[in-house]
Amino acid sequence: MNRPARQRAYTRRSRTGCQTCKTRRIKCDETPGSCKNCSSTGRTCDGYETARLPIVTKKGKFYTPSIHIIDISFPSMSSDERRCISFFQTRTMPMLVSFFEWEVWRRLALQLGQAEPAAIKHRTQHHRFAIEQYGHALSTLRRRLTSQDPHVSVIALVCCVVFTYLEVLQGNNENACAHLTNGLQILSGEKGDAARAIVHDKLQDYHHADGSPAMTPQTALLAAIAHLDIQIQIHRYVSRQRDTNGVRGANHQPLRFRTLDEAWRELDPISDNALGYLTLVQSALQDPGITDVFPILVAQRKLATQLEEHIAAFTELATTQLRHPTPKQARCMNLIQMQHRILRTHTYRALRLSEDVWDDFAPDLIEGLAFGEATVASLEAEFSPPNLPTLVMDMVIILPLTWIALKCRDLPTRRRAVQLLRRWPHFEGPHHTSTFVALVEGAVELEEARRDPRTGLIPAEALVADVSVVQREGAPPVLGYTLAHLGGPYLEVPFPVGDWGSV
């Protein structure tokens, strides 16, 4: 006799039940505070979600992932958390690694986001949900740090990187600095400038080692945090919070690159030294009575040696291993060559402000701009303009294009650089194109208004020596310009309407 198949009684599943009942896959009675299902059985009720994501009825066009996709069907996750993880790995991650590969984003953050609650995670429902998850992650990490797990430092460092970017995206750069400082301290065991020096030296030792070993999670995190540190230091520099850091010398071991990613990461210590060198130069220019420029010349020599060594190692890599690059490799090679041109002008032009040196540096700047245009064109061909990445981990074109527009004296070249910045609005770490467009356009306007119509030259006293974003408590930021030389006439102008909110 055939028995009728048993049918499971239909029960309407609640989307607003407590977390414990969701994990147990039972219907929650949703009693405020603590549900009776939990309290009557002696269980701890993990409470209710205070923020929910809106239901999405249309699916947008996703980027082609270049990351390690992992399973997200974990029963302990809510449907909203699964949606967020899915979006993170199919949309956010490919944006972050749309140029160079970063093991932290390609694999570590996703893997730990599944295994570790501490690593899981506009004023909209999406924003409120993200902030709530961020709070859960912070509190879980605090508890996790007290464990004896030997891997807890890796977990903490991944959280440090993720939390830093979360704060950057909310415009909380001071909080981002605090997270980054904690990461530097975990990696080095020191504080302040000593921590920064140790971390950057460790990374440089890795790149200079003979036959560098495969990158471990610890080394990947070291590289990611060192890169974030450069971005935050540049933000502080633009905000006139400048430290007079010295310029560290190059490692004596020969520099060899196996991949473009290694070549790109090795630019970080050079960029850090360039920032320290510019700070030394500006401090000297601000003091008209200074007579001893020998320390500045030593710093310049160190920086030049590092840069030329990097150019030679990159050239060897390009000519021996990358004769037929893929489109992405070609894009990355353009970026490295663009950085070479700009860093060269940083190194040799900083002490020379006058108009008559433009011809000496015009070829490097114009060539750098051409590499930038090729980069953006390649990106548009791959992603199509409506879907261009809005956040990338690397500093790719914003700062080089800003330098070109500020330092060249050819108006068409300046306009091309500004147009390219406007063509791709996005974040590079804490830096948004709108901030730098405003800075550049203000400087160009100041200089071009006083260009001599007869000679075509800008008078020396009209040249902009320094730019900055000045933030005062309780007031919107303003653009600051120092003319002719540091210590010379100083002007402040407001941000163009609608632009300053992206600082």
Range scoring the smallest mean pLDDT among 226-230, 262-266, 402-406: 226-230
Half-sphere exposure of 160 (CA within 13 A, CB side): 25
pLDDT, average across residues 435-462: 90
pLDDT tens, position by position, 169-203: 667 777 778 878 888 888 888 887 788 777 877 77
Tokens 């400048």, located at residue? 242
pTM: 0.69
Spatial contact of 39 and 33, defined as CB atoms under 8 Å apart: no
* Sign of the four-CA dihedral 270, 154, 218, 330: negative
* pLDDT at 223 exceeding the cut of 50: yes
In this predicted structure, the answer to whether residue 393 has a pLDDT above a threshold of 80 is no
Closest CA to 335 of 385, 431, 390, 400: 400
The identity of residue 254, as a single letter, is P
Q: Out of 107-121, 421-435, 481-495, pick the least confident.
A: 107-121
Strands 431-432 and 490-494: unpaired
Within the chain, how many helices (H) and strands (E) appear? 19, 6
How far apart are the C-alpha atoms of 458 and 355, rounded to whole Å?
Answer: 7
Of 27-31, 58-62, 192-196, minimum mean pLDDT range:
58-62
For range 322-337, the mean pLDDT: 92
pLDDT, position 116? 47
Closest CA to 400 of 412, 418, 387: 418
Average pLDDT of span 154-171? 76
At 363 the pLDDT is 86
Residues near 464 by beta carbon (within 8 Å), at least 6 away in sequence = 406, 443, 446, 447, 481, 482, 483
From residue 106, alpha-carbon distances to 36, 72, 130, 220, 221 in Å are: 42, 15, 21, 11, 12
User: Is the pLDDT assigned to residue 28 strictly greater than 60?
Assistant: yes
> What tokens does 151 get?
């891997």
Structure tokens at 112: 């730990």
- Reported confidence tier of residue 36, pLDDT bands at 50, 70, 90: confident
Instruction: Provide the token pair at 227.
Output: 């890169």
Residue 136: per-residue pLDDT: 56
pLDDT at 33 over 80: no
Of the ranges 52-66, 69-83, 155-169, which one carries the lowest mean pLDDT score? 52-66
Give the C-alpha separation, 137 to 131, whole Å. Answer: 10
d(CA 47, CA 23) in angstroms, rounded, equals 12
- Across all residues in the chain, what is the average pLDDT? 75
Strands 391-392 and 427-428, bridge-based pairing: parallel
User: What are the start-end ranges of the E strands in 272-400?
Assistant: 391-392
Which of 133-147, 352-366, 417-431 has the highest average model confidence (pLDDT)?
A: 417-431
pLDDT tens digit sequence for 338-378: 999 999 888 887 655 555 556 677 888 899 999 999 999 99
